[in-house]
Structure 1
Amino acid sequence: MASRDELRLHRADTQDGDPYDAYGVEVTGYPAGWSVAAARAAITADIALLQPLLGDPDPSIRIHAAYTLATASDPDRAVRFSFRARLAVEQDPIVCAALVLATAEATRTHPHSPTIAWMRQRWRDRSQAPEVRLAAAVGWLCLTAEPVPDDLRAAVDDLAADERAHAMDTLPWMAVAGGSGETGLHHCARKMLHPDQPDPEHCDDPWAPRP
Structure 2
Amino acid sequence: MSWAATERFGARTAPAGLALVQDLVNTHAVERDGEELLLDRPSAQRWLQNAARRWAEVRGRTAPDLALSEAGLRDLLDLRSTVAGLLAVPADQRAEGALADIQVHARAKLVADPQGRVGIEPEGTDGDWLASAVWSEILLAQLTGTWARLKLCREPGCRSAFYDTSRNHSGQWHDVHSCGNINNLRASRSRKKDALQTSPGGL
TM superposition score category, shorter chain reference: under 0.3
Structure with the higher strand share, 1 or 2: 2
More RCO (CA 8 Å, sep 6+): 2
Larger Rg: 2
